Amino acid sequence: MARMMERRIRWAGTLIGCGLIIQMATFLWTHPIAFLTFLLIGCPLVGAGILLFLISLVSHEHNKEVS
C-alpha cells in the first residue's frame, strides 16, 4: 500500500512541476496565446497535481494487523 501512495505522490509532483514550468515559460512569452496557455494548460496541471496529492493522503490506509 505504501508503494501505491509513493507512486501517486511522485505523479502529483510531476504534474505540479510540469504545470509550473509551463506557467513560467508563458511569463517569457509576450503574446495573447501565452495567457491561454497559462490558463488552459498550466493551471489544470497544477490543480490535478494538488488534487492527486490530497487524494493520495486521504485514501491511504494503514495496514491493520489482527493479533
Per-residue pLDDT of the chain (67 residues; tens, 9 = 90+): 678 889 999 999 999 999 999 999 999 988 999 999 999 999 999 999 999 999 999 986 655 554 4
What is the pTM (predicted TM-score) of this model?
Answer: 0.82
- Name the strand (E) or helix (H) holding 34: helix 32-37
- Residue 45 falls inside a structural domain: yes
CA angle 10, 15, 20 (to 5 degrees): 125
- Residue 65 falls inside a structural domain: no
Please tell me what DSSP assigns to residue 42.
I
- Residue 63 falls inside a structural domain: no
- Residue 27 falls inside a structural domain: yes
Write down the residue that cell numbers 489482527 correspond to: 66
Domain of 23?
2-58
Query: pLDDT value at position 20?
Result: 97
Distance CA 38, CA 41 (A): 6
- Residue 38 falls inside a structural domain: yes
Write down the residue that cell numbers 505522490 correspond to: 9
- Residue 67 falls inside a structural domain: no
Structural domains of the chain, count: 1
Distance CA 6, CA 56 (A): 9
- Residue 41 falls inside a structural domain: yes
